[in-house]
Amino acid sequence: MRYALPSCPVAYFWHATKSLFRKPDSQLVRFNNSNFKILPSDQQIEEEVHDNTTKGRYYPVQIGDVINEKYQVLGKLGYSLGSTVWLANELSMQGPNGEHHCLVYEPMLESVRELLYRNPSGRFTEDLLRVFLQILLFALDYLHTDAHLIHTGKLWPFAFNILLGIGDKSIIQKFVEAEQRNPSPRKDIWDLSQGKHLFYGRDPKEEKYMTRAHLADMIALMGPPPPELLKVGKRTAESFDKDGGWIAEIPVPARTSLEESEENLEGSNKEAFLKFMRKMVQWRPVH
């Protein structure tokens, strides 16, 4: 049985089946953490357009995270003003800005508002509207009569918080598989810390981003890629000769280092951050 787990303020998670509880590492879903698109740190997306993001309102979830040694985050489903929605495998999480409490829900599909927008007429039929109103009134009656709660938010026509049930549960597995094949875009740790890119990839001849310029930037920082890596590259011949020499039509920039590029930290904090970054910023990252 699957569930959704929202934090408060509402960060939603969806459980995987009970068979996923306390899975050993060998049974965790494996995600490709080297094939996702990196977004600029100053590009606001989804919930980041709300001021609450910078105030620590949202728990910083990462796809693939295992929470409390029990629940694995499988993918992001959506967001709203006070929530982010995630698919995941009693939960209270300690985030960098305090505790986030979570509730358990059955997994749901799109909102009533999204369904309305998909209707070419921009409205519901009389029969469909009647069913929605009946279900809505039943839910409100339960809140008032049994739970002794009063819903103070807007329900209609701003029905983004009224969700539809999932008829075919197989779509959840298809969602997870799609995330494994095509990872969601993410923001780079370096960008978030420094407010700038580590590699810009701006081609000096074309005056725009190009793969060869990005590769040249990487060589300036990390040195030439190892021969065994070049041998398996599908586009190696575009930039390297058979001996691993650089043959692209632009020069490799002057040699640089992480120490020279890092500008915001000092002392032991800078040393620890650079040590962490060095494990990742190399041709064969350290696991």
Read off the pLDDT of residues 105-127 as tens digits, 9 standing for 90 and up: 677 788 887 888 888 887 778 88
CA distance 267 to 148: 55
Q: Are 201 and 53 in contact (CB under 8 A)?
A: no
pLDDT at residue 18, rounded to an integer: 32
Residues 161-176 have pLDDT tens digits of 777 888 888 888 888 8
Strands 98-102 and 92-95, sheet pairing? antiparallel
The SS3 of residue 229 is helix
Structure confidence at residue 203 (pLDDT): 93
Residue 1: its pLDDT value, please? 36
Average pLDDT over residues 207-236: 92
In degrees and rounded to multiples of 5, residue 87 shows phi and psi of -90, 130
Question: Who contacts 11 (Cβ-Cβ below 8 Å, separation ≥6)?
Answer: 58, 59, 61, 83, 84, 86, 100, 102
Name which residue leads in pLDDT, 137 or 96. 137
Place of tokens 């879903």: 29
Kindly state the DSSP code that residue 238 receives in the 8-state scheme: G
**Least confident segment among 99-103, 213-217, 230-234:** 99-103
Cα-based torsion angle of the residue sequence 56, 58, 64, 66 in order, rounded to the nearest 10 degrees: 80
What was the pLDDT predicted at 125? Answer: 80
> What's the pTM?
0.44
Q: What pLDDT, on the 0 to 100 scale, is given for residue 6?
A: 39
Task: Give the lowest-confidence range in 118-132, 207-221, 260-274.
Answer: 118-132
The b-or-e profile of 28-44 (16+ CB within 10 A means b, else e) is: ebebeeeeeeeeebeee
Distance in angstroms (rounded) separating the CA atoms of residues 70 and 57: 23
Of 20-34, 196-210, 214-228, which one has max mean pLDDT? 214-228
